[in-house]
Amino acid sequence: MKKVDVVLGLQWGDEGKGKVVDVLTPSYEAVARFQGGPNAGHTLEFNGEKYVLRSIPSGIFQGGKINIIGNGVVLDPILFREEAEALAKSGHDLTQRLYISKKAHLIMPTHRILDAAYEAAKGSSKIGTTGKGIGPTYTDKVSRNGVRVGDIFLDFKSIYDAAKARHEAILRSLGYAYDIAELERKWFEGIEYMKRFRIIDSEQTVNDMICADKHILAEGAQGTLLDVDFGSYPFVTSSNTVCAGVCTGLGIAPNRIGEVYGIFKAYCTRVGSGPFPTELFDETGKRLRDLGHEYGAVTGRERRCGWLDMVALKYAIMVDGVTGLIMMKSDVMNDFDTVKVAVAYETAEGRTTVFPYNIESDVKPVYREFRGWKCDLRKIRRYEDFPQEFKEYVEFIESETGVPVKIISVGPDRDETIMR
Annotated catalytic residue: which of 42, 105, 111, 167? 42
CB-based contact 52:27 (threshold 8 Å): no
CB-based contact 113:176 (threshold 8 Å): yes
Interacting positions 283-322 with Mg ion (CB under 5 A): 297
User: Is 42 designated active site?
Assistant: yes
Buried b (16+ CB within 10 A) or exposed e, 119-144: beeeeeeebebbebbbbbbbebbeee
Is position 331 an interface residue for ligand GDP (rule: CB under 6 A)?
A: yes
What whole-number distance in Å separates Cα of residue 298 and Cα of residue 168?
A: 28
Q: For ligand IMO, which is the closer residue by CB, 24 or 134?
A: 134
Q: Rounded to the nearest 10 degrees, what angle do helices 181-194 and 109-122 cross at?
A: 130
Cβ–Cβ contacts within 10 Å for residue 361, how many? 10
Is position 272 an interface residue for ligand GDP (rule: CB under 6 A)?
A: no
Residue whose C-beta lies closest to ligand IMO: 272
Least distance in angstroms from the C-beta of 40 to Mg ion: 6
Interacting positions 103-132 with ligand IMO (CB under 6 A): 127-130, 132
Is position 218 an interface residue for ligand IMO (rule: CB under 6 A)?
A: no
Could you tell me which stretch among 39-47, 165-173, 258-266, 383-391 binds ligand IMO (CB under 6 A)? 39-47
Could you tell me which stretch among 40-48, 72-80, 142-150, 159-167 binds ligand GDP (CB under 6 A)? 40-48
135 binds, among Mg ion, ligand IMO, ligand GDP, none (CB under 5 to 8 A by kind): ligand IMO
What whole-number distance in Å separates Cα of residue 116 and Cα of residue 275?
A: 22
Interacting positions 370-409 with ligand GDP (CB under 6 A): 409
Least distance in angstroms from the C-beta of 68 to ligand GDP: 18
SS (H, E, C) 303-348: CEEECEEHHHHHHHHHHHCCCEEEEECHHHHCCCCEEEEEEEEEEC
What whole-number distance in Å separates Cα of residue 27 and Cα of residue 367?
A: 38
Please tell me the total number of residues recorded for the chain in this structure.
420
What whole-number distance in Å separates Cα of residue 329 and Cα of residue 14?
A: 11
User: Is 415 designated active site?
Assistant: no
Residue from 14, 22, 76, 294 touching Mg ion (CB under 5 A): that is 14
Q: For ligand IMO, which is the closer residue by CB, 210 or 268?
A: 268
Is position 228 an interface residue for ligand IMO (rule: CB under 6 A)?
A: no
Residue from 57, 135, 285, 306 touching ligand IMO (CB under 6 A): that is 135
Least distance in angstroms from the C-beta of 222 to ligand IMO: 4
Give the HSE-up count for residue 155: Cα atoms under 13 Å, Cβ half-sphere. 5
Q: Quick one: which of 331, 349, 358, 116 has its CA closest to 235?
A: 358
How far is residue 61 CA from its own chain's centroid?
18
222 binds, among Mg ion, ligand IMO, ligand GDP, none (CB under 5 to 8 A by kind): ligand IMO
Interacting positions 219-238 with ligand GDP (CB under 6 A): none
CB-based contact 39:130 (threshold 8 Å): yes
Give the HSE-up count for residue 392: Cα atoms under 13 Å, Cβ half-sphere. 13
359 binds, among ligand GDP, ligand IMO, Mg ion, none (CB under 5 to 8 A by kind): none
Annotated catalytic residue: which of 14, 115, 151, 331? 14
CB-based contact 405:397 (threshold 8 Å): yes
Least distance in angstroms from the C-beta of 148 to ligand GDP: 26
Least distance in angstroms from the C-beta of 172 to ligand IMO: 23
Q: What number of chain residues touch ligand GDP (CB under 6 A)? A: 23
CB-based contact 148:103 (threshold 8 Å): yes
What whole-number distance in Å separates Cα of residue 142 and Cα of residue 269?
A: 30
Q: For ligand IMO, which is the closer residue by CB, 13 or 150?
A: 13
Residue from 21, 25, 32, 41 touching ligand IMO (CB under 6 A): that is 41
Q: What is the largest CA-CA distance in the chain?
A: 65
CB-based contact 338:302 (threshold 8 Å): no
CB-based contact 134:74 (threshold 8 Å): yes
Residue from 38, 41, 133, 274 touching Mg ion (CB under 5 A): that is 41
CB-based contact 74:37 (threshold 8 Å): yes
Is position 237 an interface residue for ligand IMO (rule: CB under 6 A)?
A: yes
Is position 14 an interface residue for ligand IMO (rule: CB under 6 A)?
A: yes
Least distance in angstroms from the C-beta of 42 to Mg ion: 6
Q: Which residues of this chain interact with ligand IMO, rule CB under 6 A? A: 9, 12-14, 36, 39-42, 127-130, 132, 134-135, 221-223, 226, 237-238, 271-272
Q: Which residues of this chain interact with ligand GDP, rule CB under 6 A? A: 9, 13-19, 40-43, 45, 293, 297, 328-329, 331-332, 409-412
